[in-house]
Amino acid sequence: MALAFVSFTQSEDTVGTSVTVAMPATRPADDFYLFVITRDDDDFTFDANADIAELVDFGNGSGLDASLFVGWKKGEASEPASYEVTTTGGTGERSHVGVFHYSGQHDTTPIGNISSVNSGTGTQATANAITATSADSIILRVYGVNTRYFDTFSAGTERGSYQVATSGYANYSVVEEASPGNGASTGTATADIYSTFSDGWMAVTIEIMPAAGGGSIIPQIMHNRRMQQ
């Protein structure tokens, strides 16, 4: 089975010290689920979770007034409808959550290379480059931003986002690209922030690996859910 995007599920969790992650309505066993959480706060950490393998926990002490969590899990035979991710410290701000569902990933090692988290302030976010380790992998650029949202990308297909341009919110976008080839650099990528103001942003590049002997399918369609106030 080729590696392919299946669905995007978004949710919002109100102020508190834990975050409820809503799973897709259809959640087959053995598929791949990427979790993205942004939070309008930068003085806390996400706690370890026995069910979700953490890839990124960034923001604590950054001064960006926003934080980014990225994790993943392989679907179970009886996958629950939601998970709880707790936090330590901070004031318990609102969280925005996205679950990105893929099928056809590598059974035991679905994560290839991952970049360091890039961050800064301004009107454009930049995701660092990685070296692809498969010609059939999928490259994901995960972006987070305080208050504003992303609206233009240098490359790729946006697979999902949370967009509320209001104080007290931190938003995300996930953009998918094809592998540049085994051993080749992805180069950097950029995401423009819908704002004339300078906002804190975070970005990371993640490689999702295909099943042994599998390729990848990247239909060029937008799968974006917008919520604005």
pLDDT of residue 39: 87
3-state secondary structure string across the chain: CCEEEEEEEEEEECCCCEEEEECCCCCCCCCEEEEEEEECCCCEEECCCCCCEEEEEECCCCCCCCEEEEEEEECCCCCCCEEEEEEEECCCCCEEEEEEEEECECCCCCEEEECCCEEEEECEEEECCCECCCCCCEEEEEEEEECCCEEEECCCEEEEEECCCCCCCEEEEEEEEECCCCCCECCCEEEEECCCCCEEEEEEEEEECECCCCCEECCCCCCCCCCCC
pLDDT of residue 217: 58
pLDDT of residue 167: 63
pLDDT of residue 93: 74
Domain boundaries, the chain: 3-217
pLDDT of residue 223: 36
Which residue ranges in the chain fall short of pLDDT 70? 90-92, 165-168, 196, 214-229
Q: What is the pLDDT of residues 68-121, one digit of tens each?
A: 999 999 999 999 999 988 888 766 678 889 999 999 999 999 999 999 999 999
